């Protein structure tokens, strides 16, 4: 499923674009979760709270914070290089301003179904499997974190802690077994009933523990030691082969 945002102060255009996305979804049996914003600052606040989209259709001529500023905030302030941005405008004179933001595409209004279908095909190729983010829910609010930023998951009572780089920790109600099933990522594996680790952040390991890139030392349960050691060695060999 692609999480898509539309940000344009033209409400009729938002309705039309969302309708086109729904039509494409029905014709292709692909799921799109579409959110609509009419102001750039509202979108920025939403993203600053930890929410993420795979693809954003972003109008340039927005009031207060324009689309170029929103794009810069996404790339620079949020350090988000993965979200694909498609600019939409009635003008075609913004090429140099958009260079550093690296948009996926630039569409001139009026939008057509063919243009949107083409953008979606390109976005899916760039995004690959679409699993760059791990999504979890607190109450009725969905949150997303970059999978590459996750060091490990820790089970703590009825909660799951997501330990991220830069000493950040997010927490929500859930089970580690559900995380492992949902994540379906070979770089993550269980070393203990309480820990699901990201191999890419392991900097040291022995038969009894692993040391993560934030210097946290996590115990490997006795029952898992042989299997974990084999996985770590396999991963290490594959990384050498890739290099």
| Residue 195 reports pLDDT greater than 70 | yes
How confident is the model over 32-84, as pLDDT tens digits? 999 999 999 999 999 988 788 989 999 999 988 999 999 999 998 988 878 89
| Residue 95 reports pLDDT greater than 90 | no
Q: What is the pLDDT of residue 186?
A: 67
Q: What is the pLDDT of residue 50?
A: 79
d(CA 188, CA 160): 15
Q: What is the pLDDT of residue 237?
A: 61
Confidence of residue 235 (pLDDT cuts 50, 70, 90): low
| Residue 162 reports pLDDT greater than 80 | yes
The pair of structure tokens assigned to 69 is: 């500023």
Q: What is the pLDDT of residue 132?
A: 73
For the chain, give the mean pLDDT. 88
d(CA 212, CA 202): 5
Chain-centroid distance of CA 220 in Å reads: 29
Are the CB atoms for 16 and 39 separated by under 8 Å?
no
Are the CB atoms for 192 and 220 separated by under 8 Å?
yes
Domain boundary assignment for the chain: 2-127, 145-242
pTM of the predicted protein model: 0.62
Confidence of residue 215 (pLDDT cuts 50, 70, 90): very high
Tell me the β-bridge partners of 195.
154, 192
Confidence of residue 126 (pLDDT cuts 50, 70, 90): confident
CATH number of 2-127: 3.40.50.2300
Q: What is the pLDDT of residue 35?
A: 95
How confident is the model over 3-35, as pLDDT tens digits? 899 999 999 999 999 999 999 999 988 889 999
Are the CB atoms for 200 and 194 separated by under 8 Å?
no
d(CA 168, CA 146): 12
d(CA 58, CA 208): 50
| 3-state class percentages of the chain: helix first, strand second, coil last, to nearest 5 | 40, 30, 30
Chain-centroid distance of CA 121 in Å reads: 18
- Three-state secondary-structure class, residue 212: strand
* Of the candidates 124, 175, 128, 166, the residue with the CA atom closest to the CA atom of residue 145: 166
Query: Mean pLDDT lowest for which of 10-19, 21-30, 133-142, 152-161?
Result: 133-142
d(CA 80, CA 55): 12
- Domain 145-242: what homologous superfamily? LytTr DNA-binding domain (2.40.50.1020)
The residues, any chain, with a CB within 8 Å of residue 140's CB and separated by 6 or more, are none
Chain-centroid distance of CA 187 in Å reads: 16
Q: What is the pLDDT of residue 241?
A: 41
């Amino acid at each position: 499923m692609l999480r898509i945002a539309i940000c344009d102060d033209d409400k009729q255009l938002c309705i039309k674009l969302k309708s086109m996305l729904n039509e494409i979804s029905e014709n292709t049996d692909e799921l799109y979760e579409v959110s609509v914003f009419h102001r750039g600052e509202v979108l920025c606040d939403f993203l600053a709270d930890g929410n993420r989209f795979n693809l954003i259709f972003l109008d340039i001529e927005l009031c207060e914070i324009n689309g170029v500023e929103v794009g810069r905030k996404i790339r620079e302030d949020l350090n988000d290089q993965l979200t694909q941005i498609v600019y939409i405008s009635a003008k075609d004179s913004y090429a140099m301003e958009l260079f550093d933001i690296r948009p996926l595409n630039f569409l001139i209004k009026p939008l057509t179904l063919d243009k949107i279908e083409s953008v979606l095909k390109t976005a899916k190729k760039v995004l690959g499997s679409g699993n760059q983010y791990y999504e979890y829910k607190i109450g009725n609010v969905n949150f997303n974190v970059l999978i590459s930023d996750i060091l490990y998951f820790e089970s703590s009572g009825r909660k799951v802690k997501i330990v991220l780089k830069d000493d950040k920790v997010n927490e929500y109600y859930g089970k580690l077994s559900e995380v492992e099933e949902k994540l379906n990522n070979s770089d993550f594996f269980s070393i203990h009933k309480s820990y699901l680790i990201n191999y890419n952040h392991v900097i040291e390991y022995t038969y009894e523990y692993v040391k993560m890139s934030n210097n946290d030392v996590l115990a490997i349960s006795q029952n898992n030691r042989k299997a974990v050691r084999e996985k770590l060695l396999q991963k290490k060999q594959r990384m050498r082969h890739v290099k």
